[in-house]
Amino acid sequence: MTAPRIVVTGLGTFSPLAQNAPDTWSALLDGASGARHLEQPWVTELALPVTFASQAFTDPETVLDRVESKRLDRGSQFSLLAAREAWADAGSPEVEPERLGVDWATGIGGVWTLLNAWDTLREKGPRRVLPMTVPMLMPNAPAAAVEMEFAARAGARTVVSACASSTESLANAVEHLQAGLADVIIAGGTEASIHPLPLAAFAAMQALSKRNDDPARASRPYDSNRDGFVLGEGAAALVLETEEHAKARGARIYAVVVGSAVTSDAYHITAPDPEGSAAARAMIAAVHAAGHDLADVKHVNAHATSTPVGDIAEYRALAHVFGDRLDDIVVTATKASTGHLLGAAGAIEALFTVKALHERTVPPTINLTDQDPEIPLDVATSPRPLPAGDVLALSNSFGFGGHNAVVAFASA
């Protein structure tokens, strides 16, 4: 029996570049940066070594109503807004609740709720800890918020696999749709961890850029002078459905999800396998999952976090997969603009990959002024047209713990 084709019919995001998908895409094409100085008093009070991040373009509490804001952690707030936009963009499909599912992701969970509750407990005692603390901090809270918003009863699953989380949630959604467990799935991911503790911890690992004097130019994937990633926050959502269901309701189709794959390095808790062998296997498996050939790939939205070690490891994986053909593939690294959204990174980059196919335009990688000679990729530093005809594109995500996830999209 042939597995059903899975298509993308809705897109939504709440990002550091804008509070919706069309404006985020426009800002990305214009070469904008979401990185800004942090103005919260705790930055100076705690003498944080990194004083900037890619915060959400708008405070979600100014968009949600008061009750929603009080009952949802910041990550769940982002999720609800991104999912609402994606659902409306898909035409608010009429689907039986038992045939509608949610596959969501986060890398860390409700860190603000958890740490604020701990402060309250220490300073004011146990009676002042809010009853909603656990439902707000649990990692599956964003999935639950989306599930309840749309009465999705075909399952609400949560992936937590660091920076590969939401790409893995997309891979799971494809599997669940192809297995006949649902007709429509809202998939994506969220992260809201621009808090002093994660900032201090990532800085202690030497993972963050310390360009405090120039935040907008701090994230510089593939550049010889890259020195770490910029912490970002936000959420992105994609509405996926079987092609049969989408066509029956006359839906607009952005792109086709032709394959996905998940592998693991079994190498190190934070460092990637320097040869990228498991990452390469994920890319090959994602392309071959639907019977496509590697020669069909024309574009890659790379994981490319702007770390000295990670960028080279991904290049080696790409070189292993594509060999001499790598020169024919246009690569972009959109974290240069958005910062690194951790568990939401894969979802927003999948959204960008879908938009690139639909608009036939590869978005630029900003801040690349001196490309590392050890990474001789064809990187788009300005918007680049994609060729006509059938085109395949990959969205790569690799996370701490050696998690590798890749989704392959084809033009509709």
Contacts 24+ apart (CB under 8 A), 41-48: 42/196, 43/196, 46/196, 46/200, 48/196, 48/199, 48/200, 48/203
Please list the residues that pair with 262 across neighbouring strands: 405
Q: Is 159 left (phi over 0), alpha (psi -120 to 50) or beta?
A: beta
Cβ burial 292-330 (10 Å sphere, 16+ → b, else e): bebeebbbbbbbbbbbeebbbbbbbbbbbbbeeebeebb
Q: How far apart are the first and last CA of the chain?
A: 23
CB 139 within 8 A of CB 111: no
Catalytic one among 299, 340, 358, 403?
A: 340
Whether 403 is catalytic is: no
Residue 171 and residue 191: Cα distance in Å, rounded?
19
Question: What does the DSSP assignment read for 232-257?
Answer: B-EEEEEEEEEHHHHHHTT----EEE
Secondary structure of residue 319 in the 3-state scheme: helix
What DSSP letter does each residue of 86-127 carry, written as one string? HHHHTT-----GGGEEEEEEBSS--HHHHHHHHHHHHHH-GG
Helix axes 277-288, 308-322, angle to 10 degrees: 50
State yes or no: is 340 an active-site residue: yes
The pair of three-digit structure tokens given for residue 280, joined into one six-digit string: 């390469």
Is-catalytic flag, 292?
Answer: no
Q: Which residue of the set 163, 176, 195, 245 is catalytic?
A: 163
Alpha-carbon distances of 298 from 253, 334, 353, 362, 391, rounded to whole Å: 20, 17, 11, 10, 6
Q: Angle at the Cα of 352 (from 178 to 85), degrees rounded to 5?
A: 75
Are the C-beta atoms of residues 165 and 393 closer than 8 Å to each other?
Answer: no
**Which candidate in 176, 195, 303, 403 is catalytic?**
303
Catalytic residues, by residue number, are 163, 303, 340
